[in-house]
Amino acid sequence: MDLYGCYTLSYNISDTETSSAVIETFNRVFAIEPDTRPMVHTDCGAAYCSCLTTT
């Protein structure tokens, strides 16, 4: 969500909680706003804490 404009930049609905679903969401955001420096708030679930999303 863009905190200034209060609109959703991207979302992804997946059958399972996987790091690839998280990465796909971030890739969509960066495609829309390539110069963005995101502030990410999560529930610290496994998909967000895996080594695939922290590198």
**Is 13 in contact with 42 (CB distance < 8 Å)?**
no
Burial class of 15 by CB neighbour count within 10 A (0 to 12, 13 to 18, 19+): exposed
Q: What is the mean pLDDT of residues 29-54?
A: 75
Domain of 15, in residue numbers: 1-55
pTM here is 0.61
Has residue 35 got a pLDDT over 60? yes
Has residue 20 got a pLDDT over 80? yes
Instruction: Please name which of 21, 3, 1, 4 lies closest in space to residue 12, comparing C-alpha atoms.
Output: 21
Please name the residues in contact with 2: beta carbons below 8 A apart, sequence gap of 6 or more: 8, 9
Domain count within the chain: 1
The whole-number pLDDT of residue 38 equals 74
Alpha-carbon distance of 25 to 32, in angstroms, equals: 11
